[in-house]
Structure 1
Amino acid sequence: MSERPSTAPSDTAPSDRRTFVSKVSAAVIGGLITIAAPIAGLFPILDPLRRRGDTRGMVRVTAFAALPESGEPRKFPVLDTLVDAWNRTDNVPVGSVYIQRTGDDSVRVLHTTCPHLGCSVGYNAAGRGYFCPCHKSSFALDGTIADPKSPSPRGMDPLEAVVRDGEVWVKFQNFRKGSPERIAV
């Protein structure tokens, strides 16, 4: 008599099933890692492009009470948070402004840089105006050109400002020099 193969369940079937499940699981996990890692790596690379459209908001410059009630302008540094591609630096001096109290809760803010060539403009208390020492431009208290012979193509650059909760907040920005139009840069 010949011996017939046994029809009893084999011990290899559960092993084959386990091997199949582990191979499929490994393929799925490997595929997810293969896809997820490059996508996760794109976020820090593309982050500066995402932030490019952000605009800088208002910066707190001083307390309103620090301004003289006489309306005489005071010069204040502007400290802001600078953010480049991956770094953030707090309290960095980015410029300065003249702030003048014009009412009970209003101010006039002028950029301290001359619109002619970018020299620093000083305040002349005796003359009640501003003066640029580089090319002799002179400006009235409101920032307009005081002397028609002034080489400056426009008056001093006013900046947007609000008084909020007893503090002066300024939207600080720079403008193109030497141009009769006020063009933000």
Structure 2
Amino acid sequence: MSDSVPVPPSDRRTFVSKVSAAVIGGLITVAAPIAGLFPILDPLRRRSDTRGMVRVTSFAALPEGGEPRKFPVLDTLVDAWNKTENVPVGSVYVQRTGDNTVRVLHSVCPHLGCSVGYNASGRGYFCPCHKSSFALDGSIADPKSPSPRGMDPLEAVVRDGEVWVKFQNFRKGSPERIAV
């Protein structure tokens, strides 16, 4: 005769409880990390560039004679979870061209990105880095200019006595105006 101990038959309740514990444990093991990814990946779901029109100045601040004025562009930047208001993102030249109309030019030279200055006596813009010169409308004034294109115009509207600009940067050194 054998000295083996008889094994009791498995109980149905024990089997069901073990299977349900394994299923619930597996679901928790999978669901918790997936739920944790949502807050981590949330900034990736948002639009990266939420800038639209930015208020630059009042229309009354512009001289009637058509002389351009340089204004800083302050915007609200949203980076992942941070929101910072009134951050300087660049500057523009704003020129009154008529009743409720303006011309807005980016203040950065399209050649290599130096800051362009306004020359009141020459009635035009001048880049001190490589001697590019631009007419009052932003076109290239000197054919020997190293700049591959004229100054970059920006979309602008006068609304309720204020000048609003769609500020954007463009690729430097390219003859085409390519937004970046």
Report the counterpart of residue 24 of structure 2 in structure 1: 29
| Normalised TM-score (structure 2) | 0.81
Q: d(CA) in 1 for partners of 2:175 and 2:47? A: 28
Higher strand proportion (structure 1 or 2)? 2
Q: d(CA) in 2 for partners of 1:103 and 1:11? A: 110
- Structure 1's 103 and 28: CA in aligned 2 closer, same or farther, altered over 3 A? farther
Identity %: 92
Q: d(CA) in 2 for partners of 1:143 and 1:54? A: 27
More deviation in 170-179 or 22-31? 22-31
Report the CA distance between 1:51 and its aligned residue: 1.6
Deviations 1:124-182 (A, max 9, x none): 00100000011110000100000001010000000111111111111111111111000
- Structure 1's 16 and 45: CA in aligned 2 closer, same or farther, altered over 3 A? same
Report the CA distance between 1:83 and its aligned residue: 1.0
- Structure 1's 69 and 16: CA in aligned 2 closer, same or farther, altered over 3 A? farther
| Normalised TM-score (structure 1) | 0.79
- Structure 1's 165 and 35: CA in aligned 2 closer, same or farther, altered over 3 A? farther
Q: d(CA) in 2 for partners of 1:154 and 1:18? A: 81
Report the CA distance between 1:46 and its aligned residue: 1.5
Mind listing any 5+ residue stretches in structure 2 that lack a counterpart? none
Mind listing any 5+ residue stretches in structure 1 that lack a counterpart? 1-9
More deviation in 20-29 or 146-155? 20-29
Deviations 1:4-60 (A, max 9, x none): xxxxxx999x99999999999999999997777545433321222212454421111
Report the counterpart of residue 77 of structure 2 in structure 1: 82
- Corresponding residue pairs, total: 175
- Structure 1's 162 and 31: CA in aligned 2 closer, same or farther, altered over 3 A? farther
Q: d(CA) in 1 for partners of 2:13 and 2:158? A: 71
- Structure 1's 24 and 80: CA in aligned 2 closer, same or farther, altered over 3 A? farther
Q: d(CA) in 2 for partners of 1:142 and 1:152? A: 15
More deviation in 24-33 or 82-91? 24-33
Q: d(CA) in 1 for partners of 2:174 and 2:57? A: 30
More deviation in 78-87 or 137-146? 78-87
Q: d(CA) in 1 for partners of 2:128 and 2:97? A: 26
Report the counterpart of residue 42 of structure 2 in structure 1: 47
Alpha carbon RMSD of aligned pairs, Å?
Answer: 4.8
More deviation in 59-68 or 14-23? 14-23
Q: Which protein is bigger by CA-based radius of gyration?
A: 1
